[in-house]
A and B are shown apart, each in its own frame.
Chain A
Amino acid sequence: MSIWKYANPKQFMHSTAWLVPLFSYAAAGFIAVGLIWGFFFTPDDFRQGSTVKIIYLHVPSALMAINAWFMMLVASLIWLIRRHHVSALAARAAAPIGVVMTLIALFTGAVWGEPMWGTWWAWDPRLTSFLILFLFYLGYIALWQAIETQDVAADLTSILCLVGSVFAVLSRYAVNFWNQGLHQGTSVPVATGGRTVDDVFFVPLVISMIGFGLLFVALVLLRTRTEIRHRRLHALLARERAAQ
């Protein structure tokens, strides 16, 4: 048996039943530790004050927003190449999670940006890219919902995910180029990313990031299980209709 045996819906349901609570509890633990440590047991930044602490929500959610799309891309490729139904449904299941993560990243970014930059929103390359990512997610979900035949919907959304990935990367570079073109010497420094952060902030941030990762896995598993049940219902109903 290979890893592909989990591509059978029944096998997947059987194997993941105990994984969902496991990942959920682990995620809750890591996020609780990461956030409590980060919020209450780290010193205030000398320049940014306590507003810097939103980083423990902002960075992990932004990371997961991008990772969710990568996961969808891989799952779509598996569906297109090997036609494993679970893969297509996992991609479908990941999209709304990606949307929520993108929204959290955008919202916390705005909340952070207001005291720091004096504005809720700036057309900075990073911010703009996230907004574009959000639009890609919306289109992907809308296409899934618009098409009734599930296999066709899986095919079309997979190919949209592929093409969308290429254009998302293109947009990222285009946005960088465009912003330079607009205001030479950008005046809005973005202090995201863990590279410039001191260890005292970094450890809780990593814990929080692991927690968000576990949360993502737990949610994808849970939602994939729901999608599989939904799909089974769909197949049973179609069989009923055909039998009449």
Chain B
Amino acid sequence: MIALVKRDLALAIRAGGGFGLGLAFFLILCVLVPFGVGPEPALLARIAPGILWVGALLAALLSLDRIFQFDYEDGTLEVLATAPLPLEGVALVKALAHWVTTGLPLTLAAAPLGMLLNLPAQAVPALVLGLALGTPALSVIGAFGAALTVGLKRGGLLISLLVLPLYMPTLLYGADAARRGAAGLEASTPLLLLAGISAAAVALMPFVTAAALRMNLR
């Protein structure tokens, strides 16, 4: 299992792995928003938590179809499915690799990019903590969507349609925590709910992901 983590991370970082693509997308989004809504600092400060969360969500979404697609196409997934590893574990490891290459960098980049959007400094802890707690849920839920569409030639658009409604609760609590932080309010309730969603998703989603993979390999 650890070998699989190492391999997936190595593959993501080497050429063609697409590491940093999500991060670049996140940056561009944060640059484009002020062009769209105007440079007024008060307005930007007000919408910054929401923009950062939606941006993180879309950046995570962007790389979802890569989670299983390459392994499916080159036959690795078949070999892994017949290997002594539990497929649930494989699904979790794949989601973990996705999180390390997108969720984690997004969490770390959120604070500096928040400055571009004039995010109030007091919102930063709730925002960063919220992303750290919420992005694992985005990765494991996204892995489920990727497993559903792995057999399809052009699954990218369909993944968005399947996964975005599932992202709704995570986004609501995450953005709410950041907004409360910006307003100087106590943000622990949404953060705890966010942690609960992430914990439940990490514990349960690999099972349905593995089930979907098995169905697709049939």
B211 touches A159 (CB 8 A): yes
Q: Which of A138, A143, A164, A177 contacts B172 (CB 8 A)?
A: A177
B215 touches A167 (CB 8 A): no
Instruction: Say whether chain B's binding surface is mostly helix, strand, loop, or mixed.
Output: helix
B162 touches A143 (CB 8 A): yes
B215 touches A152 (CB 8 A): yes
Contact with B along A112-152 (1 / 0, CB 8 A): 00000000000000000000100110110011001100001
B contact residues around A155 at 8 Å (CB):
215
Q: How far is the CA of A57 from the CA of B158 in the complex (A)?
A: 32
Closest Cβ–Cβ distance, residue B104 to chain A (whole Å): 24
Query: What number of B residues sit within 8 Å (CB to CB) of A?
Result: 29
A135 touches B208 (CB 8 A): no
* B46 at interface, CB cutoff 8 A: no
B166 touches A167 (CB 8 A): yes
Closest Cβ–Cβ distance, residue A69 to chain B (whole Å): 12
Instruction: Say whether chain A's binding surface is mostly helix, strand, loop, or mixed.
Output: helix
B165 touches A160 (CB 8 A): no
A contact residues around B205 at 8 Å (CB):
163
Closest Cβ–Cβ distance, residue A134 to chain B (whole Å): 9
Q: Which of B151, B161, B172, B173 contacts A142 (CB 8 A)?
A: B161
* B33 at interface, CB cutoff 8 A: no
Q: List 26 A-B contacts (CB under 8 A).
A: A132-B165, A135-B164, A135-B165, A138-B161, A139-B161, A139-B165, A143-B148, A146-B152, A146-B158, A155-B215, A156-B215, A159-B148, A159-B208, A159-B212, A159-B215, A163-B144, A163-B166, A163-B208, A167-B165, A168-B165, A170-B169, A171-B169, A174-B172, A174-B193, A178-B173, A181-B180
